[in-house]
């Protein structure tokens, strides 16, 4: 186990590792006085060269040993003892003493810029890099810093420059920290962990003291420079001569220092070849050239332009926030009004919809906005004539006028109105007519903003979503046919195009009248609306050409939900959507609301009760299937996605199209849940014939096809989906269900590609994670469900991914939600409508599969028992049986627990695999878990393994835990201040008395014969103080002894809970035949 740390030293990122001690005795002794001048010793928790190299290699960085070096790490310690960074490494010694900074030697590897960017990109957003390879928070902090550099490179906030580095002059691309970045830089550097700058070269005996902000600045400069250079080396400009080599000298020469500079800006070594005095002169010219930026960048304020509407005539419309002064009184100069209703032609709008053209003037006001308090907007007047009370006094006043003039001078180049205002002393703003105001809104504002000025626009403009300008919509008139009477989405639908301004529908005549007005902004019902001349012409043109259209109902649905593939159809006009009536309207409403569709009865042969919300979910799946649309059911774990799906499949068999056709449904899931599906199907839909396509003996090709036809459902795994796709895709599936659909979130993976080629009547994806929030993962799942609906991947990236993830564009997020929302149903346990349907405690059995190794160990143990059973008698027989029981349970838990050989842990236990998958979802949902096991050694194994997997501390309580430690653990777990999502407890030590209500998931990793004991353990979480519903997951290896134990428990429960007693003694009374049956391994138990 390694926690990777990273620190900046000498212009490079150094990576080192921290690991638990193999041998505790390596810790230095606590005794003895602390020397005054600390002498550096090797850091006891240092990962060391071999492991560090292995870790780097596993991340894709094969590094040679000679690149490793010894550096000094200044870390906090107590007395002479080092302190680990996390309890995963070692317990922190309990001491009241203050920690002090101590020098240690660690082995670190320095990365070049390319490796730095690469590695940090890989780390972004991860808690674990690989099993047992955990990035420390200082490491993760650098990944965040790199994001910052990426944003600056993308936003082009940098300039070419010259710098002196180790006596050499180099060309560089230097970030410009002006405007918002100035604040970001300080803010970001304040969050820097000390560990990110705790390294020092070996022969320096003082701890590092470089301020965080300089360290960060240097990192940003270096990475940004690298990004720009790497884009050059990839771009089309490659092959440009770096330098003409002349004469015998290796040193290239250039015609001018400028050429040398440009070449160095492009080259990989960045060295400028020139005479020192020339370079210095160049530098001074660069300084001169960049001067306006420097003035603006060093200013604590920025200039803002605020567009103010003419004196209000109709509705009050608030301006953007931050406006603190009243709008100057304007003079009402009268309004042109056209009664559009008077123009020949129908006016359908009942309100009449007057379009007004106010004639009074607009204003642009100059304001100064401090970066440290952006809500403060100081009128320029204050700067021209400084008052005592002015907030400007806080800032460097002498330069404010120069700053204001420089800014205005720059802005004047963009807007002639601003230039004109500068003809008079102390300008504070200028006036505009409506045409100019429109120009300001549409063109000048963006240009000014891009030049670094603040721009404040009226709110109605900034949030103009669907209303503030000309739009087209498709008007569909469909008959109010009863849905269900043979309508499909293939039906061809007629529709008319309509053009609307705001809420008001326009006729061609009205459009032409609008064009006559020649004013780009009008007021419709008191609200400003944009009527761009070009748009009007485009609208008239478009309309004359396309008064009506004819498309499939599917296309109408796509248009109505804003599918990007259909926006090109409206001649450059904004497409607002579909106005419809009849069944299309009804359908659209049902889709958007995910409600209003027919609620189905549970299938006749469904055994068990569906909860009310499950009926809704299952009916919703059926509703989408009815229209041939794919659906993603993303209910919280524990809400019963499995039963809803089974109900749907069964319903189809009984009443749906599949009643006659009898095609099978393909269900793809992770290997670890194959058995669970099978068991659940047997329990809830006993009539359904299920075939498991798995294991080496599975049928293939034609044989498979024939076998599949005989069943209602075929269950297989993601691994086989890809491996057997050749014949899987040859089957006409009634439907395809992907369980844990996040398995196909990456569209390039083989299983995702395979899933998309399947031939299916309907498609369903199941997921317990909030798929709708992971924009990046959404495309692949949606493309599987409804191919072509959300556009091509590149389009998706451009339209949604970048706007939402990089630009935080709310509008794009809204559009995506509108587009995908109808196909995703996610209900949370905490939803009011759900919670009332749920019991406070839900017990669920999770059927797990044995790995091949587990199966062969199991068989060997059983064989061994059977051989000895015949001969043994009395006490000997009892002892042997009890030990056999224990050994079999160990095998079911984990081979390593059985073998006790410290062998490797991952990928050897079906239970552990399933546990990890479930914990993944639980942790993602921010919930906490208790895991009970009857074996202390299994508990320890789980603790270590889960720490390695999830990269966080896992608490572990067992018989050897002192009372003090136990109380501290419980306190920490309950307090919720630390990230402690998992608590492993041994059934004996933790099963009674404790209060652990912070958890709402309880796992019983292995089973105990007495349900009362299990229930008592469950009650650690399910007791007074618990605010959530508690889910109890009981792990059972299908086809093994464990399943038999479970059956016995169930049976005994019916009699009386305490008949069985607390022990396993009664088992020894069973006959040999009974025992053989109990132990026997059934075929279903084994994974492939």
Partner 1 sequence: MTPYWDYYAPSRPKEVKGGIKAKSKRGKFGENWWARRWIEVLESFNIGARLTRGKSYARRGQVLSIKIDTGLVRAKVQGSSSTPYSVTIKIRTLTGSEWDLLAKKLAQKPIFAAKLLAGEMPEELESVFMEAGLSLFPEKIDDLDTDCSCPDWSVPCKHIAAVYYLMAEEFDRYPFLLFKLRGVDMDDFMSVLGHAEPEEDFEEEPGEGAKLGAEARAGTESVFLSPKARTAPVLVLEEEEEAYTLSPEPLPLDLETFWGKVFERTEKEMETRSKAHIPSVPAALPKSLGKFPFWRGEEDLLDELEEIYRQASPVGMRVFLGEEAKAEGE
**Site residues for partner 1, window 273-312 (CB under 8 A)?**
279-281, 283-285, 287-293
Q: Report 772-811 residues binding partner 1 (CB under 8 A).
A: 801-802, 805-808
**Among residues 473, 526, 216, 548, which one has the least CA distance to residue 355?**
526
DSSP E strands: which ranges in 309-410? 335-338, 355-358, 362-370, 378-379
* Joined tokens for residue 840: 């406070």
Give which of 426, 283, 297 is closest to 371, Cα–Cα.
297
Maximum pairwise Cα distance, the chain: 114
Judged by beta carbon, residue 978 or residue 1050, the one nearer partner 1 is 978
45 binds partner 1 (CB under 8 A): no
Determine the interface stretch with partner 1 among 152-160, 298-306, 345-353, 591-599 (rule: CB under 8 A).
152-160
Question: The tokens 């942790």 sit on which residue?
Answer: 923
The distance of closest approach from Cβ of residue 391 to partner 1 in the complex, given in angstroms and rounded to an integer, is: 15
Which range touches partner 1 (CB under 8 A), out of 23-31, 347-355, 408-416, 658-666?
408-416
Could you tell me the CA-to-CA distances from 797 to 155, 774, 816 in Å, in that order?
A: 18, 13, 12
Instruction: Answer yes or no whether residue 230 interacts with partner 1 by CB under 8 A.
Output: yes
Interaction between residue 1082 and partner 1 (CB under 8 A): no
Measured from the CB atom, is 386 or 725 closer to partner 1? Answer: 386
For tokens 């091949």, the residue is 852
Interface residue with partner 1, options 979, 992, 1047, 1082 (CB under 8 A): 979
Helices 1072-1079 & 852-869 angle (0-180, nearest 10): 170
**Least distance between partner 1 and beta carbon 1002 (Å):** 24
Pick from 334, 409, 657, 960 the residue near partner 1 by CB under 8 A.
Answer: 409
Beta carbons of 360 and 333 less than 8 angstroms apart: yes
CB 1030 within 8 A of CB 1000: yes
Nearer to partner 1, 74 or 779 (CB): 74
State how far the Cα of 1 lies from the Cα of 614, in Å rounded to an integer: 43
**C-beta of 224: minimal distance to partner 1 in Å?**
8
- Binding residue for partner 1 (CB under 8 A) from 107, 408, 556, 880? 408
Name residues contacting partner 1, limited to 878-907 (CB under 8 A): none
Q: What is the CA radius of gyration of the chain?
A: 36
Phi-psi region of 514 (alpha: psi -120 to 50; beta: other; left: phi over 0): alpha
Q: Where are the beta strands (DSSP E) in 483-625?
A: 492-501, 504-506, 521-524, 527-530, 548-552, 574-581
CB 998 within 8 Å of CB 853: no
What's the CA gap between 716 and 674, in Å, rounded? 7
Determine which residue in the list 160, 252, 549, 582 makes contact with partner 1, applying CB under 8 A.
160
Q: Tell me if 232 contacts partner 1 by CB under 8 A.
A: yes
Q: Quick check: 262 binds partner 1 (CB under 8 A)? A: yes
Our finding on whether 100 is near partner 1 (CB under 8 A) is yes
Tokens of 350: 């009942």
Mark residues 734-773: x for contact with partner 1 by CB under 8 A, - for none: ----------------------------------------
Residue (276 or 1083) nearer to partner 1, CB? 276
**Does 416 participate in binding partner 1 (rule CB under 8 A)?**
no
Q: Are 914 and 929 in contact (CB under 8 A)?
A: no
Tokens of 1072: 């040999």
Encoding tokens for residue 369? 């906005």
CB 575 within 8 A of CB 472: yes
Of 31-39, 333-341, 411-419, 662-670, the window that binds partner 1 (rule: CB under 8 A) is: 411-419
Cβ at position 749, least distance to partner 1 in Å: 12
Q: Which is nearer to partner 1, 128 or 844 (CB)?
A: 128
Q: How far is the CB of 398 from partner 1 (least distance, A)?
A: 6
Is 769 in contact with 921 (CB distance < 8 Å)?
yes
- Footprint of partner 1 on 947-966 (CB under 8 A): 952
DSSP reduced 3-state for 387: coil
159 near partner 1, judged by CB under 8 A:
yes
Site string for partner 1, 498-527 (x = CB under 8 A): ------------------------------
Asked if residue 212 binds partner 1 (CB under 8 A), the reply is: yes
Rule CB under 8 A: choose which of 150, 939, 990, 1011 binds partner 1: 150
Q: Give the list of residues 6+ apart from residue 110 with CB closer than 8 angstroms, or none.
A: 9, 12, 13, 14, 15, 67, 69
- Give the DSSP letter string of 636-692: PTTS-HHHHHHHHHHHHHHTSTHHHH---EEEEE-GGGHHHHHHHHHHH-TTS-EEE
Question: Which range touches partner 1 (CB under 8 A), out of 140-148, 305-313, 504-512, 588-596?
Answer: 140-148
Residues within window 361-390 making contact with partner 1, judged by CB under 8 A? 384-388
Of residues 432-461, those binding partner 1 (CB under 8 A): 450-452
Applying CB under 8 A, does 396 fall inside the site for partner 1?
no
Give the integer Cα–Cα distance in Å for 637 and 925: 9
What minimum distance in Å lies between the beta carbon of 175 and partner 1?
11
Told to check if 228 binds partner 1 by CB under 8 A, we report yes
Rounded to whole angstroms, how far apart are CA atoms 367 and 455?
Answer: 10
Among 30, 34, 65, 101, binds partner 1 (CB under 8 A): 101
Shortest spacing between CB 474 and partner 1, in angstroms = 30
Residue 153 is a binding residue for partner 1 (CB under 8 A): yes
Nearer to partner 1, 292 or 686 (CB): 292
Half-sphere exposure of 438 (CA within 13 A, CB side): 18
Task: State the Cα angle at 405 between 404 and 406, rounded to 5°.
Answer: 95
- Looking at the Cβ atoms of 384 and 727, the one nearer to partner 1 is 384
Least Å distance, CB 868 to partner 1, is 52
Least CB distance to partner 1 at residue 777 (A):
13
Position among 53, 111, 152, 1085 found at the interface with partner 1 (CB under 8 A): 152
CB of 389 to partner 1, least distance (A): 10
Cα–Cα distance, 522 to 504 (Å, whole number)? 13
Distance in Å, CB of 170 to partner 1, minimum:
10
* Binding residue (CB under 8 A) for partner 1 from 12, 19, 85, 644: 85
Look-up: residue for tokens 């659940």? 680
Q: Is 31 near partner 1 (CB under 8 A)?
A: no
Q: How many residues bind partner 1 (CB under 8 A)?
A: 130
Q: DSSP for 32-60?
A: SPPPSS---EE-TTB--HHHHHHHHHHTT
35 near partner 1, rule: CB under 8 A: no
Piece in contact with partner 1 (CB under 8 A), picked from 158-166, 936-944, 983-991, 1056-1064: 158-166
Instruction: Confirm or reject binding of residue 1071 to partner 1 (CB under 8 A).
Output: no
Span near partner 1 by CB under 8 A; candidates 43-51, 145-153, 781-789, 828-836: 145-153
In this chain, which of 209, 321, 329, 550 binds partner 1, going by CB under 8 A? Answer: 209
Residue 874 structure tokens:
């009395």
366 strand-pairing partners: 305
60 near partner 1 (CB under 8 A): yes
| d(C-alpha 376, C-alpha 374), whole Å | 5
* Candidate list 21, 130, 154, 315; residue touching partner 1; CB under 8 A: 154
How far apart are the C-alpha atoms of 571 and 568, rounded to whole Å? Answer: 7
Q: Which residues pair with 18 in a beta bridge?
A: 3, 46
Residues 177-206 that bind partner 1 (CB under 8 A): 180-181, 184, 191, 193-198
**CA-to-CA dists, residue 65 to 17, 73, 116, 750, angstroms:** 15, 20, 18, 36
Within residues 106-135, the interface with partner 1 by CB under 8 A covers 117-118, 121-122, 124-125
């Amino acid at each position: 186990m390694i926690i990777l740390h990273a620190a900046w030293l000498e212009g490079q990122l150094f990576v080192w590792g921290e690991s638990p001690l193999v041998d505790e005795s390596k810790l230095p002794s606590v005794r003895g006085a602390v020397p005054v001048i600390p002498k550096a010793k090797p850091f006891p928790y240092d990962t060391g060269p071999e492991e560090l190299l292995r870790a780097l290699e596993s991340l894709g960085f094969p590094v040679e040993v000679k690149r490793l070096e010894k550096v000094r790490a200044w870390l906090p310690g107590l007395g002479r003892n080092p302190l680990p960074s996390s309890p995963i490494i070692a317990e922190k010694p309990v001491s009241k003493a203050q920690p002090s900074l101590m020098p240690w030697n660690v082995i670190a590897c320095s990365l070049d810029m390319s490796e730095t960017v690469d590695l940090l990109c890989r780390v972004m957003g991860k808690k674990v890099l690989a099993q047992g390879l955990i990035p420390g928070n200082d490491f993760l902090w650098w990944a965040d810093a790199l994001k910052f550099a990426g944003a600056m490179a993308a936003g082009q906030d940098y300039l070419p420059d010259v710098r002196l580095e180790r006596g050499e002059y180099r060309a560089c691309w230097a970030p410009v920290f002006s405007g918002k970045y100035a604040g970001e830089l300080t803010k970001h550097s304040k969050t820097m962990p000390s560990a990110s700058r705790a390294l020092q070269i070996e022969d320096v005996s003082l701890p590092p003291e470089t301020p965080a902000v300089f360290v960060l600045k240097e990192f940003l400069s270096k990475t940004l420079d690298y990004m720009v250079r790497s884009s050059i080396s990839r771009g089309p400009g490659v092959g440009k001569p770096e330098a003409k080599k002349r004469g015998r000298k290796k040193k290239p020469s250039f015609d001018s220092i400028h050429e040398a500079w440009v070449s160095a800006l492009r080259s990989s070594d960045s060295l400028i070849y020139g005479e020192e005095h020339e370079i210095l002169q160049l530098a001074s010219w660069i300084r001169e050239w960049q001067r306006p930026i420097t003035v603006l960048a060093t200013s604590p304020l920025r200039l803002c332009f605020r567009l103010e509407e003419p004196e209000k005539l109709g509705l009050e419309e608030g301006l953007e926030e931050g406006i603190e002064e009243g709008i100057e009184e304007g003079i009402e100069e009268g309004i042109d009004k056209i009664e559009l209703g008077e123009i020949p032609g129908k006016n359908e709008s009942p309100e009449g919809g007057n379009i007004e053209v106010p004639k009074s003037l607009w204003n642009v006001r100059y304001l100064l906005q401090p970066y440290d308090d952006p809500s403060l907007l100081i009128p320029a007047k204050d700067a021209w004539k400084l008052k005592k009370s002015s907030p400007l006094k806080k800032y460097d006043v002498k330069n404010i006028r120069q700053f204001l003039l420089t800014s205005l001078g720059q802005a004047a180049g963009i807007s002639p109105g601003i230039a004109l205002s500068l003809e008079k002393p102390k300008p504070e703003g200028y006036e505009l007519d409506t045409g100019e105001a429109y120009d300001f809104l549409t063109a000048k504002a963006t240009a000014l903003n891009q030049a670094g000025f603040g721009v404040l626009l009226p709110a109605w403009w900034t949030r103009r979503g669907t209303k503030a300008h000309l739009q087209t919509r498709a008007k569909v008139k469909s008959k109010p046919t009863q849905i269900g009477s043979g309508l499909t989405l293939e039906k061809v639908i007629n529709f008319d195009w309509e053009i609307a301004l705001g809420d008001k529908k326009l006729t061609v005549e009205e459009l032409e009248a609008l064009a006559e007005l020649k004013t780009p902004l009008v007021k419709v019902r008191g609200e400003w609306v944009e009527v761009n001349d070009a748009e009007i012409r485009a609208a008239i043109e478009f309309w004359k050409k396309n008064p009506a259209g004819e498309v499939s109902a599917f296309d109408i649905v796509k248009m109505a939900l804003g599918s990007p593939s259909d926006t090109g159809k409206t001649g450059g006009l904004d497409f607002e959507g579909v106005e419809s009536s009849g069944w299309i309207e009804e359908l659209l409403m049902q889709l958007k609301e995910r409600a209003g569709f027919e609620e189905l009865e549970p299938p006749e042969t469904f055994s068990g009760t569906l909860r009310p919300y499950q009926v809704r979910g299952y009916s919703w799946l059926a509703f989408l299937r009815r229209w041939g649309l794919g659906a993603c059911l993303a209910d919280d774990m524990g809400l019963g996605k499995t039963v809803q799906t089974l109900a749907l499949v069964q319903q189809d068999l009984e009443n749906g199209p599949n009643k006659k056709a009898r095609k099978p449904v393909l269900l793809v899931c992770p290997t670890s849940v194959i058995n669970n599906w099978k068991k659940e199907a047997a329990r809830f839909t006993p009539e359904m014939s299920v075939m498991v396509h798995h294991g080496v003996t599975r049928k293939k090709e034609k044989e498979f096809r024939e076998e599949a036809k005989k069943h209602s459902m075929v269950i297989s795994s993601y691994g086989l989906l890809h491996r057997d796709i050749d014949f899987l895709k040859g089957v006409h599936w009634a439907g395809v269900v992907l369980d844990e659909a996040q398995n196909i979130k990456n569209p390039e993976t083989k299983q995702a590609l395979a899933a998309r080629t399947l031939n299916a009547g309907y498609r369903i994806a199941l997921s317990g994670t909030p798929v709708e929030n992971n924009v990046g993962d959404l495309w692949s799942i949606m493309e599987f469900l409804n191919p072509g609906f959300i556009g091509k991947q590149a389009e998706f990236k451009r339209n949604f991914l970048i706007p939402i993830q990089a630009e935080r564009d709310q509008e794009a997020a809204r559009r995506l939600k509108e587009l995908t929302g109808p196909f995703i149903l996610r209900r949370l346990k905490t939803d009011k409508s759900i919670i009332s349907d749920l019991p406070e405690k839900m017990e669920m059995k999770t059927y797990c599969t044995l790995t091949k190794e587990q199966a062969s160990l199991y068989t060997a143990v059983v064989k061994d028992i059977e051989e000895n059973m015949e001969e043994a008698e009395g006490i000997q027989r009892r002892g042997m049986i009890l030990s056999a029981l224990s050994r079999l349970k160990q095998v079911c838990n984990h081979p390593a627990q059985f073998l006790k050989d410290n062998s490797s842990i991952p990928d050897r236990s079906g239970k552990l695999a399933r546990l990890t998958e479930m914990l993944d979802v639980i942790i993602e949902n921010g919930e906490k878990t208790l895991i009970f096991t009857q074996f202390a050694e299994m508990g320890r194994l789980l603790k270590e393994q889960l720490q390695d997997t999830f990269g966080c501390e896992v608490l572990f309580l067992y018989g050897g835990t002192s009372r003090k430690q136990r109380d501290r653990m419980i306190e920490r777990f309950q307090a919720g201040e630390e990230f402690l999502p998992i608590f492993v407890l041994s059934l004996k030590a933790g099963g009674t008395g404790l209060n652990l209500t912070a958890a709402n998931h309880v796992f019983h990793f292995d089973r105990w014969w007495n349900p009362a004991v299990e229930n008592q353990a469950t009650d650690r979480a399910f007791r007074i103080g618990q605010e959530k519903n508690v889910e109890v997951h009981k792990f059972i290896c299908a086809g093994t002894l464990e399943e038999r134990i479970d059956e016995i428990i169930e049976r005994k429960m019916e009699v009386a809970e305490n008949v069985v007693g607390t022990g396993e003694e009664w088992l020894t009374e069973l006959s040999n035949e009974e025992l053989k049956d109990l132990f026997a391994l059934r075929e279903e138990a084994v994974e492939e």
